[in-house]
Structure 1
Amino acid sequence: MKPNLITMIPALEGEELVHLQSITRELSDEQLQSFIAVYNGKRRKTDDILIGCILGFVCVGGIQRFMVKQNGMGLLYLFTGGLCLIGTIVDLVNHKKLTFEYNQQMAREALAMVHSY
């Protein structure tokens, strides 16, 4: 277990930690530091996505989708009132999954950047 991941990435959750440990297992310490720096800049916290979902009820639907770079779905939610609030409710229930999928994609991008150096 690499303690750098736990101490260097704020609000890291269990499933995300396991995923990061598996993809960074073979990185050197220097590569790991680079990965952490890039990943920290790209990842989203679960609480931020939850707040975006709640704002979808009050302000504009689709904020959470724009936050995870799903611009097409964000526009759809924007113009349909969060798919008549049903999509916003589903996202509210599944906000952790939405965040984890986005963070997995950002981890792959960060890993590709580290390997390209």
Structure 2
Amino acid sequence: MFDQNFMSLPGISPQEYSYLQSATQGLNEQQLRTFLMVYSGKRKNPSDMLMFAIVGALFVPGLQRFIVGQIGMGILYLLTLGLCLIGSIIDIVNHKTLAFEYNQRMVFESMQMVKMSNF
């Protein structure tokens, strides 16, 4: 039933889809609805991450790292001009991995919120 809702998430990859299915296994309908509401608000679209990485490479080094909550790396990129632009280029190439790793953390946080709300 909620498979359609997972597929409606913008830019969802098969890897993220299978991760979501395994993470939400065993939740009832209300918990799934709550999870989707919380997760969809926290999730980063890989296309958006590509845009952040390009803007980071051209104008604000480390922007993509700040967006995914890696403040230390963001400051390092900012001070070293994207690790002499090499790190920024690598982030452009690996934008899907950055988004997926961030989304994995958001799945965990969203699951914790769902479990806490339904003692």
TM-score normalised according to structure 2 size: 0.92
Listed one character per residue, the Cα deviations across residues 39-85 of structure 1 (whole Å, up to 9, x for unaligned) are: 01101000111011111222011000011000110010011100000
Equivalent in the alignment of 1:79: 79
- Residues of 2 paired with 1:36 and 1:10: CA distance? 13
Equivalent in the alignment of 1:47: 47
**Where does structure 1 lack aligned partners over 5 or more consecutive residues?**
none
Identity among equivalent positions (%) equals 49
**Where does structure 2 lack aligned partners over 5 or more consecutive residues?**
none
TM-score normalised according to structure 1 size: 0.94
The offset of 1:93, in angstroms, is 1.1
- Residues of 2 paired with 1:10 and 1:95: CA distance? 15
- Residues of 1 paired with 2:34 and 2:11: CA distance? 19
SS in 2 for 1:25: coil
Matched positions, count: 116
CA RMSD of aligned residues (A): 1.2
What is the 5 A alignment of 1:53-64? 53-64=53-64
Stretches of 4+ aligned residues off by more than 4 angstroms = none
